[in-house]
Structure 1
Amino acid sequence: MKEYSVVPNKDVTGWLVKIEDVAPTDLYDERDTAVEKATELAENDKPSRVLIMDQNHNVEQEKKFE
């Protein structure tokens, strides 16, 4: 199962979409935009899941696509 995550950048000025918690794909100004992109990637790469982190890097929400 592929894992995508939405995490804040170092100084919380933007949000990164990461694949397998390794390779950041893009930086977005808004969290909602990053979540939309991660969700789109996960839907096209089933089975997968999206982990959405808060500014403290705690999992706030998880979405699964099977």
Structure 2
Amino acid sequence: MKEYSVAPNRDATAWIVKLEDVAPEKEYGAKDDAIAEAEKLAKENTPSRLSILDKEHNVVEEKRF
């Protein structure tokens, strides 16, 4: 199962989509844009899980595809 995450960068000026918590896939200015892209990637690579993190990197939402 592939693991995707959406989290703010260090100073919370952008949102980062990561695969397997390794290298960032892409960076987005808006949280909604990052979530939409992460959901698209997760759906294309099922089975997968998407974790949406807050600025303290706590999971606030988790979705499975």
Normalising by structure 2, we get a TM-score of: 0.98
Mapped partners of 1:56, 1:3: distance in 2: 19
1:6-56: per-residue Cα shift (whole Å, max 9, x none)?
011010000000000001011000001000000000000000010000111
4+ aligned runs moved over 2 Å, structure 1: none
Q: TM-score, normalised by structure 1?
A: 0.96
What is the percent sequence identity of the aligned residues?
54
- Structure 1: tracts of 5 or more residues without a match: none
Aligned to 1:2: 2
- Find the counterpart in structure 2 of residue 51 from structure 1: 51
- CA–CA distance in structure 2, aligned partners of residues 5 and 35 of structure 1: 9
Count of equivalent residues: 65
Q: Which secondary structure does the structure 1 equivalent of 2:33 belong to? A: helix
User: Could you tell me how far apart the structure 2 residues matched to 1:31 and 1:17 are?
Assistant: 10
The residue type equivalent to 1:14 in the other structure is: A
